[in-house]
Amino acid sequence: MAPRVAPRPSPIHRLCVRILLVSFLAAHRLVPSCSASFFGFPAAAKRHDYRDALAKSILFFEGQRSGRLPPGQRASWRGDSGVSDGAAARVDLEGGYYDAGDNVKFGFPMAFTTTMLAWSVIEFGDDMPRDERRHAAGAVRWATDYLLKTLAHPGVIFLQVGDPWKDHDCWERPEDMDTERTVYNVSAGRPGSDIAAETAAALAAASMVFRDDDPEYAETLLASARKAFEFADTYKGAYSDDPDLRAGGCPFYCDFNGYQDELLWGAAWLRRASKDDTFLQYIQNNGKTLGAEDSSNEFGWDNKHAGLNVLVSKEFIEGEVLPLQSYKEFADSFVCTLIPESSSPHITYTPGGMLYKPGGSNMQHVTAISFLLLTYAKYLSRSSHTVNCGDISVGPVTLQRQAKKQVDYLLGDNPMKMSYMIGYGDRYPQRIHHRGSSLPSIKDHPQRIACKEGTPYYNSSGPNPNPLIGAVVGGPGEDDAYEDDRADFRKSEPTTYINAPLVGVLAFLVGNPHPGHIRH
């Protein structure tokens, strides 16, 4: 005889039982409250405070400052540093930013950082609260004041301050550094079209940031951008092809991709900032010879192709400049590689949903590509254009949501349940690969900490004593795992070029927290 089976409770019956059970437990203080997830319903996605994240992402740059700090310095654990930079060459190169967790001022990534900070303000500054836009413009100006100094002497452009090999042999605060502040430059006989053209892009873009509030400064920036571009186009070559410059810049910031993309990038920014048809003609006449057809889904301090395509496509989308149609086609191809449903070859995503490229410091790809998605969505929204990815047509909202998903992952919606921005959320990395953050502040420990005296702090398993608020670390690997290990610089080191495009992305999300339309 078969055993009797009790009738299966209906869903309503099961729900009522759960409600009674939760009420009983809550009355006896055995649970704090009932929740949707307790009932078997999916918990609502966490709502992120994009305004808080934006403020912190901008504050980060104050922790990276070199030179004499201003009275309004908010990252108060920092002190003056590098005040005699340039003395080895009898020039003034005080100021600028340390690019990452070391104490070298690398000009190539600093110029790219400046371009992206400025582009963030240009595209999404209207979504920033007034104070944050002011701080963002201040972050741009701290860089441009320095970049102007690198162009101040005829015949040369200063590229870098600090011997990276000797710097990396020490673990010391920037306020204490006593390693050689070697000065590197490019010239007619030792060309650097890449650094010169990226500097031109940075100054041209920044001129748009200051056009209304400080027109005289904006004009200075634009004039200097023209000067830097003329140098780049006249003396063609990559700075890392020179043996001496290669020894200083490689393997840290070699120009692996060549200088051609920077020439087009610099011309594109000068065209946008000046409206000068000369630069439009330059792009049209030199696009093929400079590799504009080398469509690429790369974008960062070395490879500008995807960003160039998005930037120049604006001329075609909004201005109907027909000779530039190919740039939109290349931008479309880039976008299609990011859409999982498209038939194009895809960029890899981790199991947790993070865009992933091999090589370390992956968050630089997450933030830069998210910025391009939102910027391209903005351009598309002003026209009837869409993106054709084979069997599917992709519009602005899809691009917005794709970017938002990446930023939400960065802020904590990931398998580790960890924010990768220092100071944001309840759980974030504590042991980042950063000298100033990991050593006692000069304000708390005025005594000098010499080169090798910092090693115990580097090896310590304790948290960094000075949280570098707003810094975004390199992030997890392809398995979504993050070990919070100071020695694992590929994952735990922050960089300025991770944060710079993120400023724009977060500004957009402040104004549009629920993508579904783009505000004009």
Q: Which amino acid is at 183?
A: V
3-state helix, strand, coil in the chain (%, to 5): 50, 5, 45
Within 89-214, residue ranges assigned H as helices are: 107-124, 130-150, 164-168, 193-209
48, 385, 433, 434: the catalytic one is 433
176, 194, 408, 493: the catalytic one is 493
484, 485, 514, 517: the catalytic one is 484
How would you classify residue 78: left for phi > 0, otherwise alpha for psi between -120 and 50, otherwise beta?
beta
- In angstroms, what is the C-alpha Rg of the chain? 25
Q: Is 484 a catalytic residue?
A: yes
Confirm if 63 and 99 have CB atoms less than 8 A apart: no
Residue 371: which H helix or E strand, with range?
helix 363-381
- DSSP state letter for 254: -
* CA dist., res. 484 & res. 461, Å (int): 10
* CA dist., res. 310 & res. 377, Å (int): 10
Q: Is 493 a catalytic residue?
A: yes
* Cα separations in angstroms, 168 against 234, 239, 435: 34, 21, 10
Confirm if 496 and 362 have CB atoms less than 8 A apart: no
Render 68-116 in DSSP notation, one character per residue.
SPPTT-S-TT---B-TTTTGGGTS-----B--SSSS-EEHHHHHHHHHH
* CA dist., res. 392 & res. 389, Å (int): 5
How would you classify residue 440: left for phi > 0, otherwise alpha for psi between -120 and 50, otherwise beta?
beta
Nearest partner of 177 among 189, 187, 188, 164, judged by Cα: 164
Residue 263: which H helix or E strand, with range?
helix 260-274
Active site residues: 433, 484, 493
